[in-house]
Amino acid sequence: MSELFDEIELSFQEEVEKAINHQINEYLVIRAGRANPHILDKVFVDYYGVPTPIKNMASITVPEARILAISVWDQSQLKNIVKAITAADLGVTPNEDGKIIRLIFPILTEERRKDIVKNLKKIAEETKIAVRNARRDAMDMVKDLEKDGEISEDDREIYEEKIQKMVDTACDKIEENFKTKEKEIMEI
């Protein structure tokens, strides 16, 4: 009987991991006043008709804390990359000297930092909702097992308790991710 629960548990864990990974990826592209190459992850350039990520067309370095340097491999694509970065509205203006594109990140104002933290909190809440939805689905499957006579009421209670502990652990991890990113944003 426990192998049925093992399948439910595995499916639930996959959903939780997917939600937490999504939170982490969303946090990576949020600008913290410091240069972070991940901010360009969602910027695509039309490279001979194919949407291509910048990291596949150039090397991206961080020469100083607030500067990203983009060295384009195919110099004919320099203008297209500048255009794509400008269109992405990242809050920075690309400067190019014919060889290298520089993104200089301004120091964040207190008001802007608070707005970013609100957005971080929203992402954390959405992640917790995804985990709770996965919990609901897992609990429903466990209840169906009891209804079909596959497990006893005691087993159902044990499994539900186990699922709830996993939810609590996941919510702690989500909150920890939020606190870490909030600290990074609020640092001056």
- CATH number of the domain within which 182 lies: 1.10.132.20
Report the alpha-carbon distance of residue 5 to residue 13 in Å, rounded: 12
Q: What CATH number is associated with residue 65?
A: 3.30.1360.40
Closest of 6, 85, 10 to residue 40, by C-alpha: 85
Same domain, 115 and 174: yes
Q: At what angle do helices 110-147 and 153-186 cross, to 10 degrees?
A: 170
Same domain, 90 and 53: yes
Cross-strand pairs, 51: 46
pLDDT value of residue 103: 86
- The tally of domains found in the chain comes to 2
pTM: 0.72
Whether the predicted pLDDT of 166 surpasses 90:
yes
Spacing of C-alpha 67 from chain mean position? 22
**Residue 93: pLDDT band with limits 50, 70, 90:** confident
Whether the predicted pLDDT of 2 surpasses 80:
no
Q: Which domain holds residue 50?
A: 37-104
Q: What is the enclosing helix (H) or strand (E) of 44?
A: strand 44-47
Q: Which two tokens stand for residue 14?
A: 């996959």
Whether the predicted pLDDT of 141 surpasses 70:
yes
Q: Which of 104, 127, 156 corresponds to the end of one domain?
A: 104
**Stretch 78-105: mean pLDDT:** 85
Q: What is the enclosing helix (H) or strand (E) of 95?
A: strand 94-96
Highest mean pLDDT of the ranges 32-36, 103-107, 168-172? 168-172
Same domain, 138 and 182: yes
**Residue 32: pLDDT band with limits 50, 70, 90:** low
Q: Which of 58, 82, 104 corresponds to the end of one domain?
A: 104
Same domain, 14 and 76: no
Same domain, 132 and 42: no
Q: Which of 104, 119, 145 corresponds to the end of one domain?
A: 104
Closest of 8, 6, 11, 16 to residue 171, by C-alpha: 16
Cα atoms in the Cβ-side hemisphere of radius 13 Å centred on 129: 6
Report the alpha-carbon distance of residue 106 to residue 91 in Å, rounded: 9
